[in-house]
Amino acid sequence: MNGDTTKKSTPYTVPIGPVHPALKEPVMFNFLMEGEVVKSVDFAPGNVHRGIEWMGMRRNPVQIVHLTDRICGICGIVHSLSFARAVEQIAEIEVPPRADYIRTILHELERMQSHLLWAGVAAHELGFDSLLFLTWRVREQSMDLIENLTGNRVNYGIVQIGGVRRDISNDQILLIEQGLAYYRGLLDQMKTVFLDDSTIRMRCRGHGLLSYRDAQLLCAIGPTARASGLAMDVRHDYPYCAYGDLDVQPVLPPQEFGGPQGDVYDRIIVRLLEIAQSIDIIQQCLDSMPAGEVLWEKKLPKLLSILKKAHGEAIGRVEAPRGECMHYVRMDGNDAPATWKVKASTYSNLMSWIPMLKGEQLADVPIIVASIDPCMSCTDRVTIIRNGSADDLTKEDLTQLSREKTRRFSRC
Amino acid sequence: MKLTKSFNRSLWVFHLNTGSCNGCEIEIVATITPHYDPERFGIKLVGSPKHADVLLVTGPVTKMMAPKVRRVYEQVPDPKLVMCIGSCGQSGGVFYDSYNLDGPIDQVIPVDVYVPGCPPRPEAIIYGVVKAWEKLERLEAAQ
Ligand code: SF4
């Protein structure tokens, strides 16, 4: 018996992935376990690297907008918006105010559907499948709304350099208001279901901890950072689109739930409150929507010839549902941009897995992994091909790179 | 659309992401949730390829994923079907000129049913599953 225990307590490795039911996307984890407890963890992304930036540097900006949609199917607006904003700054294009408002409305609708999607996935990871089905059912309402406004359920293709492709009619405004009313009525119920449930509280409170300090050191962003108490939100700190006119504050876990503690539970709270915030923002947009054009230049050949002459570099930043998303673009008078670099939100959040997972039980791994709302298809731009074989960066390299990069960006 | 007479088996599907943009993933999950609810016909996502009748493959098959795709395919018991969901698995789609692809999917494993669209609507995915079902029953009858 004694011998058995010693044998069991020696660390052993549990590999999970890249194809695993608990993971929606391919990523490889290696857990060093002692009994049921995670001693250390390493992960290897890179499975969904498609070389989008490389492809983009062979296409013109109008074509790239469609490519940016497909960086990630959940953040359709986020990537196209930050890319478009970067190009607009380079070519000094002024987006009409109405287009800015429409972009904001769609951006927030996307945040709503993304957070609902996440809430469902989180419920599934907790083993609460009926809640997954319920949240995804109510999510369909926002999908219908998005489809009505853009023509697509996913990969909207609505953003164009210099504006949006479609205007919102008065009938559609009515539809949006109905949709908002529907979600307003559901909010309390959702809070009860997610936050008053004792099982969810037991599984999430105090698990997957990310301290304020760690969140800062690891450059966490978005809801992951806000749940740890970092008051940061690009919409508030560097307003873009219509956010300058609106009242947007970073959402932190409120005092009634004991303030920010940086656990999985706090991440649920932040995302639920952000759904309420999105409803509020869309309402503000509808109330003060200006009239006018929605495109800076309607004729594509003319737009392309202007973009071809553009010189310079710029960064487009937006607050994605998962945190800040950045696109760096440099144009040098050619059809295609000379450089295009994407920094997706999950890229900054991945490192927080390491402190979060340490000391947790294997059974809590899925929900903790899901709690940062990881999106590998956004993130996998770091596979390095050396001597013909794909070679992933180690986690130290990645942290180092990520820090250097943030520093580089913050200097610009 | 004609359903075969016999609903004699529940169709279990395993979903494999080979480097897709997530667009098709979320449409697949949207398909199995109550708004469309194919579970009333026994269509269900399962956690292991060994339990599956149908393999839903999305994405353009990156170089790193290609060997894993083959392995998962081998694990699905016969008779099996492969459905390719989304344009990028059929032709590369928007990623057609990427340097990191081994796909499209039919270059890696045999595909039976293609569902085009970027991403296809849930209705289209369900229609594809019905087609797969019909083929599976034909295969069974021939055995
Ligand atoms: S077909 Fe389109 S939506 Fe589906 S994974 Fe490929 S790029 Fe994404």
From first to last of its 143 residues, what are the pLDDT tens digits of chain B?
455 554 566 788 888 888 888 888 888 888 888 888 888 878 888 888 888 888 889 888 888 888 888 988 988 887 788 999 988 888 888 888 888 888 788 888 999 999 998 889 888 988 888 888 888 778 777 76
Question: Domain for residue A43, yes or no?
Answer: no
How far apart are the two ends of chain B, measured CA to CA in Å? 25
Q: CATH number for the domain including A98?
A: 1.10.645.10
Residue of B nearest to A67 (CA): B94
Residue B65 φ then ψ, to 5°: -90, -20
Tokens found for residue B77? 């018991």
pTM of the model: 0.86
Residue B53 located in a structural domain: yes
**Structural tokens at position B10:** 């529940």
Residue A5 has what pLDDT? 46
Cβ separation of A51 and B93 shorter than 8 Å?
A: no
- Find the residues whose C-beta lies inside 6 A of ligand 1: A 70, 73, 155; B 20-21, 23-24, 58-59, 86-88, 93-94, 118-119
Interface test with A, best of B44, B65, B94 (most A CBs within 10 A): B94
Closest residue by Cα to atom 6, ligand 1, is: B88
Coil, helix or strand for A218?
coil
What is the structure's pLDDT at B5? Answer: 55
Residue A21: which of A370, A393, A373, A371 has the closest Cα? A370
- Subunit contact A132:B16, Cβ cutoff 8 A: no
Distance CA A114, CA A116 (A): 5
Contacts of B118 (CB under 8 A, 6+ apart): A70, A155, B23, B86, B87, B88, B93, B94
| Residue A325 counted as domain residue | yes
Q: pLDDT tens per residue, chain A (412 residues)?
A: 344 444 555 777 777 777 766 666 777 778 888 877 888 888 777 777 878 888 888 888 888 988 888 888 888 888 999 999 999 999 989 899 999 999 999 999 999 999 998 888 888 888 788 888 888 888 888 888 999 998 888 888 889 998 998 899 889 999 999 999 999 988 888 888 888 888 888 888 888 888 888 888 888 888 989 999 888 888 888 888 888 888 888 888 888 888 888 888 888 999 999 999 999 999 999 998 888 888 888 888 888 888 888 899 999 999 988 888 889 999 988 888 888 888 888 888 888 888 888 888 777 787 888 888 877 766 665 444 333 333 444 444 444 554 454 455 445 4
Residue B43 lies in a domain: yes
Cα B116 to ligand 1 centre (Å) = 10
Helix (H) or strand (E) holding A345: helix A345-349
Give the CATH number of the domain where residue B116 resides: 3.40.50.12280
Q: What is the dihedral of CA A167, A171, A174, A176, to 10 degrees?
A: -40
Taking an 8 Å cut-off on Cβ atoms, the answer to whether A25 and B88 are in contact is no
Residue-level length of chain A? 412
Ranges of beta strands (E only) in B24-139 are 44-45, 54-58, 81-85, 113-115
Tens of pLDDT, residue by residue over A262-291, are: 888 888 999 999 999 999 999 999 998 888
Q: Report pLDDT for A383.
A: 43
Decide if A153 and B17 are in contact by the 8 Å CB cutoff.
no
Among A47, A50, A74, the strongest candidate for a mutation testing the B interface, having the largest count of B CBs within 10 A, is: A50
Q: With the C-alpha atoms ordered A367, A369, A374, A375, is the resulting torsion angle positive or negative?
A: negative
User: Residue B7 domain-assigned?
Assistant: no
With b for 16 or more beta-carbon neighbours within 10 A and e for fewer, the A141-174 pattern comes to bbbebbeebbebbbbbbbbbbbbbbbbbeeeeee
For A64, the domain range is 52-354
Give one word for A164, left, alpha or beta, with left for phi > 0 and alpha for psi -120 to 50: beta
Residues of A in contact with B118 (CB under 8 A): 70, 155
Ligand 1 atom with the smallest distance to the CA of A154 is: 3
**Is residue A130 situated within a structural domain?**
yes
- In a domain, residue A406? The reply is no
Measured in angstroms, how far is the CA atom of residue A408 from the centroid of ligand 1?
Answer: 32
Paired tokens of A71: 């960086």
Question: Is residue B87 included in any domain, yes or no?
Answer: yes
Question: Assign residue B115 a region: left if phi > 0, alpha if psi is -120 to 50, beta otherwise?
Answer: beta
A355 to A108, A211, A268, A367: CA distances (angstroms) = 31, 9, 19, 14
Q: How many A-B residue pairs are in contact by the CB < 8 A criterion?
A: 119
Q: Indicate the number of domains in chain A.
A: 1
SS3 B26: helix
Question: Does any domain span residue B6?
Answer: no
> Measured between alpha carbons, how far is residue A356 from residues A10, A86, A263, A369, B82 in Å?
22, 34, 8, 9, 38
Which of B22, B24, B56, B90 has the most ligand 1 atoms within 8 A of CB, as the residue to mutate?
B24
Across the interface, which of A117, A140, A377 has its CB nearest the CB of B21? A377
B101 and A50 Cβ atoms separated by less than 8 Å: yes
Ligand 1 centroid, distance to B121 Cα (angstroms): 11
Cα of A301 to ligand 1 centre, how many Å? 28
Q: Is there a domain that residue A318 lies in? A: yes
Residue entry with tokens 């970073």: A250
Q: Which atom of ligand 1 is nearest to the CA of A155?
A: 3
Q: How many domains does chain B have?
A: 1
Ligand 1 centroid to Cα of residue A156, in Å, is 12
> Chain B contact for A154, CB < 8 A?
yes
Report CA(A76)–ligand 1 centroid distance (Å): 11
Does B57 reside within a domain?
yes
Which residue of B16, B25, B26, B28 is the best one to mutate when testing the A interface, meaning the one whose CB has the most A CBs within 10 A? B26
A399 within a domain of the structure (yes/no): no
For residues A338 and A59, the answer to whether their CB atoms sit within 8 Å is no
Provide, for chain A, the percentages of residues in helix, strand and coil under a 3-state DSSP scheme, each rounded to the nearest 5: 55, 15, 35
Closest CA to B123 of B134, B135, B115: B115
SS3 A379: helix
CA dist B111 and B90 (Å) reads 9
CB contact, 8 Å: B97 with chain A? yes
Cα angle A204, A32, B76; round to 5: 85
Q: Rg of chain B's alpha carbons, rounded to an integer?
A: 14
> Does residue B1 belong to any structural domain of this protein?
no
From B62, B87, B114, the mutation candidate for ligand 1 (largest count of ligand atoms within 8 A of CB) is B87
Tallying the residues shown for chain B, one arrives at 143
Domain that holds residue B128: 12-142
User: How many C-beta neighbours within 10 Å does residue B58 have?
Assistant: 29
B55: in domain: yes
Asked, for residue A369, whether it belongs to a domain, the answer is no
B31 in contact with chain A, both atoms CB, cutoff 8 A: no
Q: Assess if residue A279 is contained within a domain.
A: yes
**Which residue, by CA, sits nearest to atom 8 of ligand 1?**
B21
C-alpha–C-alpha distance, residues B5 and A317, integer Å:
55
